[in-house]
A and B are shown apart, each in its own frame.
Chain A
Amino acid sequence: MRSFYELQKDLITYAVILVAIFAFRQFRVRRSGEVHAAQLAAELSQARLRHLTAQIEPHFLFNALNAISNRMHEDVDAADRMISDLSGLLRAAYDSDSQALVPLASELQWLRGYTAMMSERFRGQLSFQLNVQPGLEAVAVPRLLLQPLVENALRHGLADGRGSLCVDVERHGSQLRYVVSDDGVGIGAGPVKPGTGLSNVERRLQLLFPGAHGFDLRPRQPRGTLATLSFPAAF
């Protein structure tokens, strides 16, 4: 009879030990799970940023190469410049390991290469203007953020390859502001529904500067479209 009671006591002890071990393991699993989840979230937002960053579309590349293949019969130096512009664009697009933020100077270098290429492809039909407030070259800005804005203006506003495009970069209080305007067909009255490229811009800004950015797309007078984008910057 006695051994029966002892057995019972031992059983309770075993049970308590088992529960303690189980609870401790659960605690560790949950903790490492939380750490892991935070890590995953960080990686995911990095991946999202990369994914949302515009890339060079194949048809842009092929049309550019086609324009070069014609230009080299007319002017070898001009064709040479186009190859160097295109290489700069490709380098920026393939540099996916680089930081989410880059100096404004490198973003502007991208823009100059891009507009030079488009000016060649639509020679005598498209004109570009770039106004940058002096002293902003070193300010950190999101990489390739201007690309979808400029592409959108060319694809929708100036779809027939004619017109002018203007990019202004200026400081606005504690924010940096991009203004991209074109004199194309315009977006018409009523609410504007941004395309994929532009909604990616929104989502990138939201990931980088939650709640601290501005993005606005509206008809421009007398014609065309005006896109204004602002985000916090360290001056």
Chain B
Amino acid sequence: MSHTVFIVDDEPPARAKLARLLAPLPEFAVVGEADSVDGAAAQILALKPDVVYLDIQLGARNGFEIIEAIRGIHSPYIVFTTAYSQYAVRAFGVQALDYLLKPFDRERFLRSVQRVREAMADADHGDLEERIRRVLASMPGQAAAAKQILVRDKTHAYFVAVDSIERICAAGNYVEIHSGGKVHLVREPLSKLIAQLDPGEFIRVHRSHAVRVSFIAELHPMFSGDYELVLRNGERLALSRRYKALLPAAIRQRL
């Protein structure tokens, strides 16, 4: 089955280059191109491509605006292509499927295609929400991350400082906040709570777990391609391979 690809770049040669590199790959079919934010968002929603190659600087506007415009309606795999390494540095590790820095050669491009293939084979889009959270959080002008979380128990309400949180995990209708050996229960979906935290500090490692990056002590590969995390207090957690690609580059490279 052929996967549909959409190309967004304001420079015709840059679009031509992607189309030319994709042409010999039988499982990919370029279904459309756009050179602006508005044109791209409208066409992506109409064509519903599987993959979008997305330039970041589009004239005076920004490729992240496209992600925001299609959020919740269509969720393609995003591969960024950009000449801006400053975006790359800031966004690397919190990004979509890949980040191609221009100019790139065929070999580098094919490596990114391989990432797309792997993501498609692993068809579950469960981590998409997490990817988008990170992409959006890396944009300038986003709301600051929460400093404290409000917790209510039977008798009163109190705040837990985010700085003291080591990990959070889903438990039925509740979320457990682990902080300095204590567990606080919050009645909120995990994704909603995670959305309030800085993605540079907390990463999702599993459908039901998020961990403070600096609280991870060790990573051990498992037979299945998953990993086991050892935390600083000795606790062990599973790291799903789907979330592995989202780890900060500094950690991922050591795997």
Residues of A within 8 A of B (CB): 58-59, 61-63, 65-71, 73-74, 120-125, 155-156, 159-161
Contact = CB atoms under 8 A, between A and B. Distances in A.
B86 to A, nearest CB: 9
A67 B10 contact: no
Contacts of A122: 10-12
Interface residues of B, number: 22
Given A67-B13, A69-B105, A160-B35, A62 B20 contact: no
Contacts of A123: 12-13
Given A58-B83, A63-B83, A160 B103 contact: no
A65 B104 CA distance: 9
A66 B60 contact: no
A55 to B, nearest CB: 16
B57 interface: yes
A62 B10 contact: no
B79 to A, nearest CB: 15
B16 interface: yes
A67 B83 contact: no
A122 B35 CA distance: 11
Contacts of B10: 122, 160-161
Interface string B84-123: 1100000000000000011111000000000000000000
Contacts of A74: 16
B60 A159 contact: yes
A123 B21 CA distance: 20
Nearest to B100: A66
Given A155-B60, A160-B59, A63 B36 contact: no
Given A62-B102, A63-B11, A65-B102, 11 more contacts: A58-B85, A59-B57, A63-B83, A65-B103, A66-B14, A70-B20, A71-B13, A121-B13, A123-B13, A124-B12, A156-B60
Nearest to B59: A159
A188 to B, nearest CB: 14
Scoring A67, A71, A120, A156 by chain B CB atoms within 10 A of each residue's CB, the highest score goes to: A67
B24 to A, nearest CB: 13
B13 A161 contact: no
Contacts of B60: 155-156, 159
B84 A59 contact: yes
Contacts of B12: 121-125
A222 B10 CA distance: 26
Contact of B11 (A58, A69, A155, A161): A161
A63 B59 contact: no
A68 B16 CA distance: 12
A122 B59 CA distance: 12
Given A59-B83, A67-B14, A125-B12, A73 B20 contact: yes
